[in-house]
Amino acid sequence: MPEGITMIGEQIARVIESKNTEFPLGTNVLTHAGWVSHSVSDGKNLTKIPPYPKGVPLSLALGTLGMPGMTANYGLVDICAPKVGEVVVVSGAAGAVGNAVGQIAKFKGCKVIGFAGSEEKVTWLKELGFDEAFNYKTIKDLDATLKSVAPNGIDCYFDNVGGEFSNTVLNNMARLGRVACCGAISVYNDTKPLMLPAIHGTLISKEITMTGFRVVSYRDRYPEWIQRNIQWINEGKLKYKEHVTKGFDNMFDAFMGLFSGANTGKAVVEV
């Protein structure tokens, strides 16, 4: 990002002044105005947030009922397409996307193995029903850990981190495995490209499919996924957690927490 631009960010906003009958006063909308307390819109980049059932907080429009929840649906259900009894590994498992992925995989009948970056997160993943959860910062040997919890190989890998970690997971995939490449947070701040062993041979010998995706390309399917997630929330199958930072001035610290691993669940700033 070039210096001097408004930092990007998605937000829930309430219309407090309007000349547009489509968005009357008091309407709750999703917008991408960035790190600002107030913004002016011609209505083009606003998405109305539908009324949620009682007990479902509005802030979920940024999490389980927003982009992260949509990402979990597309990446897990469409790309990984896990079958009952399959082994699913999720990295960044305590994040807004990862925890939803793990929960959905679990109630679809899979064995779910999650990796996150603190003991607190690992405890939470186990509370959510993950079969296995590990602190990737403290396990001694990722390869040996994967071989012990998935001796027949990993069928689906939902990848939020990229880098060396994902390379080790790839080497432990089962035949016909599927990898949903969602994020590569481990390398976003690298100034030169990370070098890894070439993967072509592994992809071929194990007949693996790796799919990189950006969920915004499937906006037309959001309504279907939102309804599905609301239903799963109501049935108690899909739980959520938010890491709420209060105050506009604390936005920077909240953002940096994404890289240091300070957040469990969806990171939200309440202004």
Cβ atoms 192, 166 nearer than 8 A: no
Minimum CB separation of residue 207 from a second copy in Å reads 5
Q: Considering the rule CB under 8 A, would residue 81 count as an interface residue with a second copy?
A: no
For the CB of residue 210, give the shortest distance to a second copy in the complex, in Å.
5
Minimal distance, residue 218 CB to a second copy, in Å:
10
Residue 124 burial (CB count, 10 A): 21
Closest approach of a second copy to the CB of residue 250, in Å: 29
Binding mask 210-249 for a second copy (x = CB under 8 A): xxxxx--x--------------------------------
N-to-C CA span, the chain:
24
Q: CB of residue 170 vs a second copy: minimum separation in angstroms?
A: 10
DSSP-derived secondary structure letter, 130:
-
Q: What stretch of H or E contains 260?
A: helix 251-260
Nearer to a second copy by C-beta: 127 or 190? 190
Quick one: 123 or 171, whose CB is closer to a second copy?
Answer: 171
Q: What angle do CA 69, 72, 74 make, to 5 degrees?
A: 110
Q: Helix 222-234 and helix 96-107: axis angle, to 10°?
A: 70
| Backbone φ and ψ of 170, nearest 5° | -55, -40
Query: Which amino acid is present at 234?
Result: N
8 Å CB contact between 97 and 68: yes
Nearest CB to a second copy, comparing residues 30 and 185: 185
DSSP 86: -
CB 202, min distance to a second copy, A: 7
- Kindly state the helix (H) or strand (E) to which residue 97 belongs, with its residue range: helix 96-107
Task: State which residue, 43 or 212, has the beta carbon closest to a second copy.
Answer: 212
x/- letters, 123..162, toward a second copy (CB under 8 A): ------------------------------------x--x
User: In angstroms, what is the minimal distance from the CB of 101 to a second copy?
Assistant: 15
Binding region for a second copy (CB under 8 A) out of 20-28, 64-72, 208-216, 221-229:
208-216
Task: Count the residues of the shown chain that bind a second copy, applying the rule CB under 8 A.
Answer: 35
User: What track of x and - describes contact with a second copy for positions 162 through 191 (by CB under 8 A)?
Assistant: xx--xx--------x----xxxx--xx---
Cβ atoms 61, 49 nearer than 8 A: yes
- Please tell me whether residue 206 binds a second copy under the rule CB under 8 A: yes
Backbone angles phi, psi at 69, to 5 degrees: -65, -35
Listed in sequence order, the residues at least 6 apart from 154 whose beta carbon sits closer than 8 Å to its beta carbon are 87, 88, 89, 113, 146, 169, 172, 173, 174, 177
Which residue lies nearer to a second copy by CB, 165 or 255? 165
* Contacting residues toward a second copy, per CB under 8 A: 159, 162-163, 166-167, 176, 181-184, 187-188, 193-214, 217
